[in-house]
Amino acid sequence: MTSALLLAASVALTTPQPAEGVVESHLLAPCCWQQTLDVHDSEISRVLRAEVRARLAAGESAGAIEDSLVQRFGERMRAVPRKDPTPWFALVSVFVVCAAGVAALVVVRRKARDTARRPLVPTTGVDPYDAALDEELRDLP
């Protein structure tokens, strides 16, 4: 155990590799689940950063290291979701656009139907309500 920590510490002092920051920024510190490993300052975070650096230096891929740590500490450790939500977003967007198009089509058709049903102005030139109103006004004292 001590030799592993010494190896990890010696590797941690070397120049950081590009994938190192990616792995550390994608995982939350398992002590509080608030900050990612790259910025959190706790004993477990320092140990895990050293482990990541040592494993990267040994040639292990960033994805394999991330998966291994998530397997050990649980899916909650991921700060960045593994699956890309873009396909779902695209599907929902297409659905919303289609629904808006159907709603607009329904409104246009109803308006056209209501216009076609609207009664025409009487051709006699006498409005029946106007005549009834005139009669009622004549009956007033």
What does the DSSP assignment read for 63-121? HHHHHHHHHHH-GGGBSS-SS-SHHHHHHHHHHHHHHHHHHHHHHHHHHHHHHHHSPPP
Instruction: Please count the structural domains in the chain.
Output: 2
Check whether residue 6 and residue 65 sit in a common domain. Answer: yes
Check whether residue 11 and residue 65 sit in a common domain. Answer: yes
Q: What is the pLDDT of residue 96?
A: 93
Q: Mark which of 55, 77, 99 sits at the end of a domain.
A: 77
Has residue 102 got a pLDDT over 90? yes
For CA atoms 110, 112, 114, 116, the dihedral sign is: negative
Check whether residue 6 and residue 44 sit in a common domain. Answer: yes
Task: Identify any residues that bridge with 78 across adjacent strands, giving them in sequence order.
Answer: 27
Check whether residue 28 and residue 60 sit in a common domain. Answer: yes
Quote the mean pLDDT of the chain: 79
The mean pLDDT of 82-92, rounded to a whole number, is: 75
Has residue 76 got a pLDDT over 70? yes
Query: Which of the pair, 39 or 127, is modelled with greater confidence?
Result: 39
The mean pLDDT of 11-38, rounded to a whole number, is: 73
Check whether residue 103 and residue 60 sit in a common domain. Answer: no
Of 16, 36, 35, nearest in space to 26 by CA: 36
Residue 100: give the domain boundaries. 86-139
